[in-house]
Amino acid sequence: MDSRTDIEEEGAEHLFRRLQDSSDDASIHFDIGVFLWEKGGEAKEKAAQHFILSAKLNPKNGDCFKYLGHYYGGVSLDTQRAIKCYQRAVVLNPDDSESGEALCNLLDQGGKESLEVVVCREASEMSPRAFWAFRRLGFLQVHQKKWSEAVLSLQHALRGYPTCADLWEALGLAYQRLGRFTAAIKSYGRAIELDDTMVFALVESGNISVTLGSFSKGVEQFRQALEISPRCVPAQYGLALGLLGLAKDCINLGAYQWGASLLEEASEVARASAYFLRNISCIWKLHADIQLAYARCYPWIEDVQELEANKEAFSASIISWRRTCFLAAKHARFSYQRASHLSPWQANIYADIAVISDLITSLDKNYKQDINAWQLAEKMSMGALLLEGDSYEFWLALGCLSDHNALNQHALIRALQLNVSLAVAWGYLGKLYRKVDEKQLARQMFDRARSIDPGLALPWASMSFESCVGRELESDEAFESCSRAVQIMPLAEFQLGLTKLALLSGHLSSSQVFGAIQQAVQLSPHYPESHNLHGLVCEARNDYKSASTFYRLARHAINIGSRSIHNSHIREISINLARSLSKAGNAADALQECEHLKKEGALDDEGLQVYGFSLWQLGENDLALSVARSLAATLSSMQKTSVATSICFICRLVYYIRGLDAAITSIVKMPKELFQSSKVSFVMTAINALDRQNRLGFVVSSSRYFLKYHEEIAGMHLLIALSKLVKNESDCCLDIQSGVAHLKKALHMFPNCSLIRNLLGYLMVSSKELNNCHVATRCCKLDHLDLSDQKGFKSASDIHGAGAVACYTTGNSIPKFTFPTCTKQCSNHPGAIRHLQKYYCYLPLCPVFAPKI
């Protein structure tokens, strides 16, 4: 320490000796001033004198003015002189960041923001390396919301300060305000990389992610911000908003349980933030929005197997589900009311209260509507219109929530006057006209809504209903239309409608319908219709045990429901239950259900079929035939669609109990006008195929006139080919050649029918002709969806595999190689190879596949 002091003293003595020799040397005065300034204390006064002398001798030395600015600003506290000195220093050296920052700080303290901007702009124009000026100017332009200019300034400043996290954060904000979200996210990300405690950058990155729909990423960023600052209200608000958006995505995908859990977490975050800052209306509104979504999506998920035999437990689960939804709706209304008290001028909050009031009314079992009084939802909608009478959104809300048709129509038309492109208003207007049976007007409204917004679900669902009821579209087209509505918006009403249309169009076993009805049951477990349709879907998928479970749940829902259910619906559910029980092999319970229906006089033609089938399962053949005779006696009074099903059932039952001759006799006695159905034609053809005397030839040939569709005609050709195999058999061997000949002719008419191709290939492989195995593999196509396995026939892959085995076996009678040597090798299609591997797994001891040792 002493040595250092000695050196400084020697240096000072040397400087003063030089000053005595050259008193007019500005550099010596400057060096002495710097020495005294660094010494501090009272020496700064003497240092200022030397800086003044140096500046007078060399007025172009900007460092002298910088130190003088430090003196006047920090020692003598003469702000004006300090500003002038700093200005002179910056003019002489624009790259002097120390002088520039000090000058801007003094101007900022004096409230001279405009002068600060001028100084920074002049410095930046004088030198492109005045990075301090660009940085300061960029911050000022961000403060003044001059986003485009701020981007240019900040970009230039980053060349000099590439590791300044504040610059990257400011640049991200400027990009964000300009709508350049991708660039903003990158800038915020760079700021976070440089300083992981940048709460503002994390919050704004989360806001952008939520805006762009990346809710998972936004939630993660808000969580990081809260780890740094747990009391950060913007981060809490953003986290709750991100969780709400993520939950809505889950709900749209049908993941209701996951969505509900996310909403519960979002509700906790929003509630904590709302009670921490009780006077911010937007937080209360967000909490209400979350509770509203929770009340709408909370799923009913129970172990249905336990509820099947316990009506009280089922009732308790429904009450618990309804109570949860009801309490969430009431909490939402309280939060909306709190928000309206804090911001009574915001009309949208009144509309939100109207929506939640309507939901509470629908969930309240004790609510009794007074048609002569205004409902709360209508009053709150009118309150919103009193504040903003020219808002089409509030007129639309009134039109959707009101219970009066005239007011609905007026409100919707007024909304369309304000915004003629409002597709939702057109859709609800069509729904209103359909309600009052104005079908033509309803159709026009739905067409207009769909043309404006093809992504709106209501017109698609309503058009499918209209088309199905009016028979204007085929059931398949109506199903596709409703399917589109369900994909756009998976509401329970749309999903139930889709299942009904699937029942008419034959798509009941599809995975799309199965998923839709499962979601509908979760959102509307109190509807008997939901469980009944779920049972029908399970039955179509051959899951008879689950079907009977849901039919019983449907009956429980009828017993605990407050709605009046028509007796026909109760009868249909009971018949469905009996049918599923009989198909599941539980004939005793099915018979009990039928006996109960018989006592009540509710056993219709379908019930009689189930009754007779159950008796046959239990070995009561005489009683089963008695039921068949009762069913035959009612054929003349049945509907046309039911007649065909009943005739098919009677014929099959008589065949299984009394044999072929009795079945033919019964058919001959029936009136021929009852055979006008494709279903009957198939049954007659099948029975006639077993009769060598061909006693039903005329009946069969006349019934084939009622085959309308290509699938039916192709199926009939399959049945004819099989009948030729049976009728022309000799010495206990099927006549394969006659069946092959018929199928070859049919293939010319239906070249794309996979069933005909596969059966033809199967028969060729089964024949003893040498080269038929090669022709068989060419008949079967592996390049398209093959449903043969589902209909009891061999698939194309089966036949390719069998053909390859036959080719190898016949071509290598004394095998020397492990690969086929036949010149007409079967197809090397990957499906055939996979099936050969499958055959090897099934037949490990077959000499053809056995490994060579």
Residue-wise pLDDT for 77-93, tens only, equals 888 988 888 888 889 88
Q: Tell me what the mean pLDDT of segment 123-133 comes to.
A: 91
List the one residue out of 494, 438, 436 whose CA is nearest residue 464. Answer: 494
Same domain? For 361 and 397 the reply is no
Domain count, the chain: 2
* Low-confidence winner among 324-333, 436-445, 823-832 (lowest mean pLDDT): 823-832
Q: How far apart are CA 165 and CA 193, in angstroms?
A: 8
Give the pLDDT confidence of 186-232 residue by residue, as tens digits: 999 999 999 999 999 999 999 999 999 999 999 999 999 999 999 89
Q: How far apart are CA 141 and CA 136, in angstroms?
A: 9
Q: List, in order, residues 6 or more apart from 677 with CB less than 8 Å away.
A: 640, 643, 644, 647, 703, 706
Q: How far apart are CA 467 and CA 439, in angstroms?
A: 11
pLDDT band at 774 (very low <50, low <70, confident <90, very high): low
More confident residue, 611 or 191: 191
* pLDDT for 758: 78
pLDDT of 473 above 70: no
List the one residue out of 486, 428, 495, 420 whose CA is nearest residue 457. Answer: 486
User: Which residue is associated with the tokens 């953003």?
Assistant: 238
C-alpha distances in Å from residue 426, one per residue of 187, 217, 242, 378: 44, 37, 32, 20
Q: How far apart are CA 575 and CA 581, in angstroms?
A: 10
As a three-state string, the secondary structure of 448-471 is: HHHHHCCCCHHHHHHHHHHHHHHC
Does residue 779 sit within a domain?
no
List the one residue out of 784, 766, 769, 765 whose CA is nearest residue 826. Answer: 765
Q: How far apart are CA 758 and CA 779, in angstroms?
A: 7
C-alpha distances in Å from residue 500, one per residue of 488, 496, 837, 848: 18, 6, 43, 52
Q: How far apart are CA 80 and CA 67, in angstroms?
A: 15
Angle of helix 492-505 versus helix 457-470 axis, rounded to 10: 40
Q: How far apart are CA 766 and CA 182, in angstroms?
A: 65
Is-contact 140 108, C-beta < 8 A? no
Q: How far apart are CA 511 and CA 818, in angstroms?
A: 43
Q: How far apart are CA 339 and CA 254, in angstroms?
A: 31
The CB-side HSE value for 343 (13 A sphere, CA atoms) comes to 17
pLDDT band at 823 (very low <50, low <70, confident <90, very high): low
Is-contact 403 375, C-beta < 8 A? yes
The two three-digit tokens of residue 498, written as one number? 């889709």
Q: What is the dihedral of CA 656, 662, 668, 669, to 10 degrees?
A: -100
Is-contact 674 645, C-beta < 8 A? no
C-alpha distances in Å from residue 168, one per residue of 135, 163, 226, 281: 11, 8, 21, 32
- Find the CATH number of the domain harbouring 432: 1.25.40.10
Q: How far apart are CA 173 and CA 167, in angstroms?
A: 10
* pLDDT for 210: 95
Give the pLDDT confidence of 226-249 residue by residue, as tens digits: 999 998 999 999 999 999 999 999
List the one residue out of 455, 467, 535, 461 whose CA is nearest residue 495. Answer: 461
Same domain? For 339 and 432 the reply is no
Does residue 576 sit within a domain?
no
The percentage of the chain sitting over the pLDDT mark of 70, rounded to a whole number, equals 85
Q: List, in order, residues 6 or more apart from 523 with CB less than 8 Å away.
A: 256, 297, 299, 300, 492
Give the pLDDT confidence of 725-765 residue by residue, as tens digits: 777 666 667 777 787 888 788 888 888 887 878 777 777 77
* Low-confidence winner among 256-260, 543-547, 679-683 (lowest mean pLDDT): 679-683
More confident residue, 399 or 675: 399
Same domain? For 320 and 262 the reply is yes
Domain-ending residue, one of 313, 343, 365: 365
pLDDT of 344 above 60: yes
Does residue 61 sit within a domain?
no
Same domain? For 321 and 386 the reply is no
User: Which residue is associated with the tokens 């279903």?
Assistant: 679
Q: Which helix (H) or strand (E) is 708 found in, with range?
A: none
pLDDT of 820 above 60: no
The percentage of the chain sitting over the pLDDT mark of 90, rounded to a whole number, equals 35
Does residue 175 sit within a domain?
no
Q: Is 742 exposed, middle or buried (0-12, 13-18, 19+ CB in 10 A)?
A: buried
Same domain? For 394 and 342 the reply is no
Q: How far apart are CA 175 and CA 162, in angstroms?
A: 17
* pLDDT for 715: 81
Same domain? For 386 and 350 the reply is no
Domain-ending residue, one of 400, 428, 447: 447
Q: pTM of the full predicted structure?
A: 0.79
The total of other beta-carbon atoms located within 10 Å of residue 319's CB is 13
More confident residue, 331 or 624: 331
Q: Is 793 exposed, middle or buried (0-12, 13-18, 19+ CB in 10 A)?
A: middle
User: Which residue is associated with the tokens 């028979």?
Assistant: 471
Domain-ending residue, one of 308, 336, 365: 365
The two three-digit tokens of residue 351, written as one number? 């509309």
Q: How far apart are CA 340 and CA 356, in angstroms?
A: 14
Radius of gyration over alpha carbons of the chain, in Å? 43
List beta partners, residue 605: none
Does residue 356 sit within a domain?
yes
pLDDT of 814 above 70: no
Same domain? For 355 and 421 the reply is no
Angle of helix 796-811 versus helix 830-842 axis, rounded to 10: 70
Highest mean pLDDT among 430-439, 696-705, 800-809: 430-439
DSSP 328-342: HHHHHHHHHHHHHHH
Give the domain extent around 409: 377-447
Does residue 382 sit within a domain?
yes
| CA triple 504-510-515, angle to 5 deg | 105
Give the pLDDT confidence of 755-768 residue by residue, as tens digits: 878 777 777 777 76
Is-contact 69 82, C-beta < 8 A? yes
Q: How far apart are CA 357 and CA 242, in angstroms?
A: 25
* pLDDT for 462: 81
What's the whole-number average pLDDT of the chain?
83
Same domain? For 344 and 418 the reply is no
Q: Which helix (H) or strand (E) is 79 found in, with range?
A: helix 79-92
Same domain? For 361 and 423 the reply is no
* pLDDT for 640: 74
pLDDT of 388 above 50: yes
Same domain? For 291 and 340 the reply is yes
The two three-digit tokens of residue 769, written as one number? 């002709």
* pLDDT for 464: 77
Same domain? For 389 and 359 the reply is no
Same domain? For 350 and 393 the reply is no
Does residue 14 sit within a domain?
no
Buried b (16+ CB within 10 A) or exposed e, 658-668: eeeeebbebbe
List the one residue out of 258, 418, 271, 260 whose CA is nearest residue 332. Answer: 271
List the one residue out of 363, 313, 325 whose CA is nearest residue 553. Answer: 313
Is-contact 291 268, C-beta < 8 A? no
Q: Is 234 exposed, middle or buried (0-12, 13-18, 19+ CB in 10 A)?
A: middle
Highest mean pLDDT among 342-351, 358-367, 780-789: 342-351
Does residue 819 sit within a domain?
no
Q: How far apart are CA 797 and CA 781, in angstroms?
A: 8
Is-contact 544 583, C-beta < 8 A? yes
* pLDDT for 538: 93
pLDDT of 362 above 50: yes
User: Which residue is associated with the tokens 């209200």?
Assistant: 233
pLDDT of 628 above 70: yes
